Amino acid sequence: MGNIKIKRGVFDTKLELEHAGIKAGFPSPADDYIHDTLDFNRDYIRHPEASFYGDVEGDSMKDAGIFDGDRVIIDKAVEPHHGSIVVAFWNGEFTMKYLDLTHKAEGYIELRPANPDYPVFKVEAGDNFEVWGVVIHLIRTFE
Amino acid sequence: MYGIADLDNCYVSCERVFRPDLKGVPVVVLSNNDGCVVARSNEAKAMGVKEGTPYFQLEQQFPNNKIAVFSSNYELYGELTGRVISIIRSETPAYFRYSIDECFMYLDGIELDQLKSWGERLHKRVKREVGMPISIGLAPNKTLAKIASKFAKKYVGYHHCCMIDTDEKRIKALKLFPIEDVWGIGRRYAAKLQSHGIVTAYDFATHHKDWVQLVFNNINIVRTWQELNGEDAVPNEELAKKKSICTSRSFNGMISDFDTLRTHVSNYAARCAEKLRIQNTVASTIGVFLNTNAFREDLAQYWNFQEGRLITPTNSTIPIVGAACDVLKKIYRPGYQYKKAGVIVMGVGPDSPIQQDLFDINAEQIEKMRRLDQVIDRINRLNGSETIVIGAQQYTRKDGKGKANVFANAIKHDFKSPNPTTRWSDIIKLK
């Protein structure tokens, strides 16, 4: 009897009871319908390890609805296809353009702006070029 | 089967992720304070740039070569390697991260005849999704897996993945492998083995086990010998025991006053505490060392190292910084020009919930500290490291009035790359 040692610990029993839905008072009618909150990171970023961000400078893609100051999410895991908006490293800088594979069989591909004021880049088969990633989302903050 | 994934020229590869123009170009990364070369691209190695070359000698030694030079950017390396580990986690039954650029994998559950192509796919996935190359070694034990990964790195024919799964391959590999490069054989043991005429891993493996036991009387060397002979001998728990964590720096210039030293040491201690929290461990002993510049024979020389014990093992910033400052007070001697200081935390063990005694007045305090650390870590993760620091970590301004730079700004890093994965201000610009 004389050997009782009192320990102090953190009580988390309350938390467990809440989880089990048997806390005091009436159970919430919503308990049966619990669903995780919508989460942009979880639902919109398909490949977290392969996702990067970029800020748009200039209006070379304005006819695609992408403007100066917009922020884009780039996914390196997505396979680029004809018509993808891609990020490529070209002439010493990152550029965002439409990927045009129309002439692939003829030995070249094109990076096409969405603005008639800008030139189309022609990339030959031997050029040191690779698509860095594919643009999957656009973020524009209004307020 | 075991595997190891090794990130090729890790820091250089990280720098290249956002600099595709540096592909095929010699690249080096410098140590803290831009002191000397700590990482080299294959092109830099081929030119003859040696690890440890002081930065100021690079230009003298290679006047006609263009070398891309970077200050080390651990914020970037930590984030990008974390992505690689995350991919490995999703592809393997079990894994253990061994260092910033090495990760062991336990591959039971993947069919043996599928393993090689599995490894090649893993490399492809990491290369494509993160943009960094890895080399993969596969073998029945960890020592042979390490050897296999070196072959995977060296010879393109392996497609970044080499498997040692037969005795024939094992013997062939060991005959080509220098003893000093074997995992677990330190420089000291390598010298001793070489003095016995042992040059390759094969020479060692073919000695008798009794001889190894007699000459070395060391369980780890015997285990290495067993693994070279194909057994699975190094216990997995051995890997996880990081017995100590060290944070140290050479100063940019020399320091003699106590207050500046204390600020440096506080920052190293805070960094150690953060590393402990990242790996969910606590430390019971805090060591501090201090030394003058040994190369300046014209100056008075002094060095010292002492330890302090913590009553309760912890990973909290405030008690660890406090203990480190106490030790520094004991070893500091005025009148010397100090070049380097460091903090080593020891007695590292798992961070298990402590059975708190009713009569331990510290218990409540410890719980509060833990919550404070969690909040600070979260804020610093979201807003960039050192958004919040404790007072001791702040440097005094040059004019002596008030507080100025935090740690990161006190290190010299003239060639630091941006942080496009951890700071919104640094994300890439798209024309």
Q: Could you say which of B23, B129, B356 has the minimum Cβ distance to residue A8?
A: B356
Return the pLDDT at A21: 45
Q: Which tokens hold the place of B376?
A: 């600070």
Residues on chain B touching A46 (C-beta within 8 angstroms) = none
- Name residue A123's beta-bridge partners: A109
Q: Is A97 assigned a catalytic role?
A: yes
Please report the pLDDT score of residue A92 as a whole number: 86
Cα A21 to Cα A11, A13, A31, B152, B382, distances in angstroms: 18, 13, 7, 55, 34
Evaluate the CA torsion angle A36, A38, A41, A46 in order and state its sign.
positive
Exposed/middle/buried for residue B246 (C-beta within 10 Å: 0-12, 13-18, 19+): middle
Q: What is the pLDDT, as a whole number, of residue B207?
A: 95
List Cα–Cα distances, A141 to A67, B15, B20, B370, B429, in angstroms.
Answer: 12, 30, 30, 36, 17
**B170 within 8 A of B230, measured Cβ to Cβ:** yes
Cβ distance A55 to B357 less than 8 Å, yes or no, reads: no
A47-139 sits in which CATH class?
Answer: mainly beta
Q: Decide if B431 and A57 are in contact by the 8 Å CB cutoff.
A: yes
Q: What are B104-147's pLDDT values in tens digits?
A: 999 988 999 999 999 999 999 999 999 999 999 999 999 999 99
Q: Is A68 on the interface with B (CB under 8 A)?
A: no
Give the nearest partner residue to B429 out of A50, A54, A132, using CB atoms. Answer: A54
Chain B hits for A54, CB-CB cut-off 8 Å, are: 427-430
User: Which of A23, A60, A62, A76 is flagged as catalytic?
Assistant: A60
pLDDT 10s digits, B57-72: 888 888 877 899 999 8
The residue assigned the tokens 């410098």 is B30
Residues A67-125 have pLDDT tens digits of 999 999 999 999 999 999 999 998 889 999 999 999 999 999 999 999 999 999 999 98
- List CB contacts (< 8 A) between B83 and chain A: 48-50
Please report the domains of chain B, with CATH numbers, ordered by start residue: 9-76 (3.40.1170.60), 99-237 (no CATH), 245-393 (3.30.1490.100)
Compute the nearest-CA separation of A28 from chain B (Å). 31
Question: What distances in angstroms separate CA B413 from CA A60, A87, B38, B266, B407, one per listed residue?
Answer: 35, 29, 14, 20, 12
pLDDT of residue B169: 97
A4 CB within 8 Å of a chain B CB: no
Which residues from B are below 8 Å from A58, CB to CB? 431
What would the DSSP string read from start to end of B374-427?
A: HHHHHHHHHH-TTSS--GGGPPBPTTSSSB---HHHHS--TT----TTT-GGGS
For residue B179, what pLDDT is reported? Answer: 95
Q: Does A95 touch chain B (CB under 8 A)?
A: yes
- The three-state secondary structure class of B157 is helix
Strand B102-106 relative to strand B2-7, pairing? antiparallel
The pLDDT score that the predictor gives to residue B34 is: 81
Mean pLDDT for all residues in chain B? 86
Q: Does A57 touch chain B (CB under 8 A)?
A: yes
Residue of chain A minimizing CA distance to B82? A49
- Annotate A110-126 with b (16+ C-beta within 10 A) or e (fewer): bbbbbeeebeebebeee
**What are the residues facing B306 on neighbouring strands?**
B288
| Nearest by CB: B358 against A6, A58, A128 | A6
Model confidence pLDDT, tens digit, residues A47-60: 999 999 999 999 99
Assess whether A104 carries a catalytic annotation: no
Quick one: average pLDDT of B304-308? 85
**Cross-chain residue pair B20–A130, CB shorter than 8 Å:** yes
- Verify whether the Cβ–Cβ distance A8 to B20 is below 8 Å: no
Instruction: Considering only the beta carbons, identify the residue of A76, A94, A96 that sits closest to B129.
Output: A76
pLDDT above 50 for B281: yes
What are phi and psi for residue B133, nearest 5 degrees?
-80, 140
Asked if the Cβ–Cβ distance from A55 to B430 is below 8 Å, we say yes
Print the SS3 string covering B278-331: HCCEEEEEEEEEEEECCCCCCCCCCEEEEEEEEEEEECCHHHHHHHHHHHHHHH
CB–CB contacts below 8 A, A to B: 74
**Structural contact between residues B316 and B373, judged by C-beta atoms closer than 8 angstroms:** yes
Specify whether the backbone of A6 is left (phi greater than 0), alpha (psi in -120 to 50) or beta. beta
What pLDDT, on a 0 to 100 scale, did the predictor assign at position B386? Answer: 67
| Chain A partners within 8 Å of B131 (Cβ) | 76, 132
Interval B227-236: pLDDT, tens? 999 999 988 7
- Distance between B377 CA and the closest CA of chain A, angstroms: 20
Closest by CA to B247, choosing from B224, B208, B275, B221, is: B275
Which residue is closest to A88 within chain B, CA to CA?
A: B430
CB contact (8 A) between residue A94 and residue B424 = no
Cβ-contact B339, B292 below 8 angstroms: yes
pLDDT score of A17 more than 50: no
Q: Angle formed by the axes of helices B317-331 and B258-278, to 10°?
A: 140
User: Looking at residue A16, what is its pLDDT?
Assistant: 41
Interface test with B, best of A46, A52, A117 (most B CBs within 10 A): A52
Write phi, then psi, for B112 (nearest 5 degrees).
Answer: -55, -40
CA distance B268 to chain A (A): 30
Contact residues, chain A, for B421 at CB < 8 Å: 52
Catalytic residue among A51, A62, A84, A97: A97
pLDDT in tens, B75-106: 899 899 999 999 998 999 888 888 788 999 99
What is the Cα–Cα distance from B348 to B283, expressed in whole angstroms?
4
- Joined tokens for residue A73: 């999410």
The two tokens of residue B241 are 């025991």
- On whether any CB of chain B is under 8 Å from the CB of A9, the answer is yes
Highest mean pLDDT out of A7-11, A36-40, B119-123, B404-408? B119-123
The proportion of chain B whose per-residue pLDDT surpasses 90, expressed as a percent, equals 52
Mean pLDDT over residues A30-41, rounded? Answer: 80
B429:A87 CB<8 A: no
Find residue B37's DSSP bridge partners.
Answer: B30
Tokens of B362: 């510290």
In tens, the pLDDT along B158-179 reads 999 999 999 999 999 999 999 9
List all residues 6 or more positions away from A25 whose beta carbon is below 8 Å from its beta carbon: none
| pLDDT tens per residue, range B357-408 | 445 556 667 777 778 888 887 777 766 666 777 777 766 655 555 554 444 4
- What is the residue extent of each domain of chain A? 47-139
Return the residue of A nearest to B363 by Cα: A8
Residue A7 to residue B420, Cβ atoms within 8 A? no
> What chain B residue is nearest to A50 in terms of C-alpha separation?
B129
Q: pLDDT confidence of A13, banded at 50, 70, 90? A: very low
Residue type at B105 in one-letter notation:
M
Residue B271 CA to residue B248 CA, distance in Å, equals: 10
